[in-house]
């Protein structure tokens, strides 16, 4: 009987996988840390493409996908359309993507790249100080999911399945008592 139940569970599980189109979008975000283990995301202050100052602390109250990337990073390019989609889907629900470009050449290369790829989320150009705050960033992409309290809930180094991001974002937005229709914090700019 137990064997039958297990088999039925297995079949149900397989059906669920196939029903999702065998895509990675149903991957469980097992990497989301429990609240008690989350540490504060180091704050930083960088400029966006318009010269406005952006502080990570300004995003407190939102779920943030913080993506360290570079124009020369192929795997980073794969994730950009996903992040555009997340921004579009969840920007009015207390969520934001913030991209930190780690190109040494700065805006000269980042601006045209961002325009070419139609990046719809905010981008800043990083520096050594910020890299050090985040452990040196030995590899890209390195992406953090930051909860409403400004704490790191998940870290992804390298190209990760889209579903892991999706599920993590969903869980973090739901953890705040549902998906609110307005951002919890306005972004301050100088």
Partner 1 sequence: MFAQSNAILTVAPPQKIVAKRGSAATAKLEVVLGAGYHINSNAPHEAYLIPLRLTWTPAPLEVAEVVYPKPHDEKYQFSEQPLSVYTGNFEIATKFKAPADAVMGPAIVLAKLRYQACNSTMCFPPKTVEVRLPVDVQ
- Compute how many residues bind partner 1; rule: CB under 8 A: 28
What tokens does 153 get?
Answer: 């809930």
Closest CB to partner 1 among residues 106, 178? 106
Burial of 77 (0-12, 13-18, 19+ CB in 10 A): middle
DSSP state of 121: S
CB of 142 to partner 1, least distance (A): 8
CB of 109 to partner 1, least distance (A): 7
From 2-10, 11-19, 20-28, 121-129, give the range in contact with partner 1 by CB under 8 A: 121-129
12: Cβ–Cβ under 8 A, 6 or more apart, which residues? none
CA-CA-CA-CA dihedral for 120, 139, 189, 169, to nearest 10? 60
In contact, 145 and 154? CB cutoff 8 Å = yes
Q: Is 158 in the site for partner 1 (CB under 8 A)?
A: yes
Alpha helix locations (H) across 29-118?
A: 74-90, 107-116
Q: Is 47 in the site for partner 1 (CB under 8 A)?
A: no
Q: Draw the binding track, 91-120, toward partner 1 (x: CB under 8 A; -: no contact).
A: -----------x-x----x---x-------
Judged by CB under 8 A, the residue of 24, 45, 55, 72 near partner 1 is 72
Q: Is 71 in the site for partner 1 (CB under 8 A)?
A: yes
In contact, 138 and 60? CB cutoff 8 Å = no
**Residues in contact with partner 1 by the rule CB under 8 A:** 70-78, 102, 104, 109, 113, 126-128, 131-132, 135-141, 157-159
């Amino acid at each position: 009987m137990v064997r039958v139940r297990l088999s039925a569970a297995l079949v149900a599980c397989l059906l669920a996988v196939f029903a999702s189109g065998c895509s990675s979008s149903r991957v469980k975000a097992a990497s989301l840390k429990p609240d008690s283990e989350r540490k504060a995301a180091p704050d930083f202050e960088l400029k966006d493409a318009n010269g406005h100052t952006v502080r990570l602390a300004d995003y407190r109250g939102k779920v943030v996908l913080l993506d360290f990337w570079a124009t020369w990073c192929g795997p980073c390019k794969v994730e950009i359309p996903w992040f555009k989609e997340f921004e579009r889907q969840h920007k009015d629900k207390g969520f934001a993507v913030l991209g930190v470009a780690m190109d040494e050449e700065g805006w000269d290369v980042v601006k045209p790249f961002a325009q070419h790829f139609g990046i719809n989320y905010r981008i800043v150009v990083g520096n050594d100080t910020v890299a050090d705050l985040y452990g040196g960033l030995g590899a890209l992409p390195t992406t953090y999911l930051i909860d409403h309290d400004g704490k790191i809930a998940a870290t992804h180094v390298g190209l990760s399945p889209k579903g892991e991001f999706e599920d993590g974002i969903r869980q973090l937005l739901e953890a705040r008592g549902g998906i609110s229709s307005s951002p919890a914090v306005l972004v301050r700019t100088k």
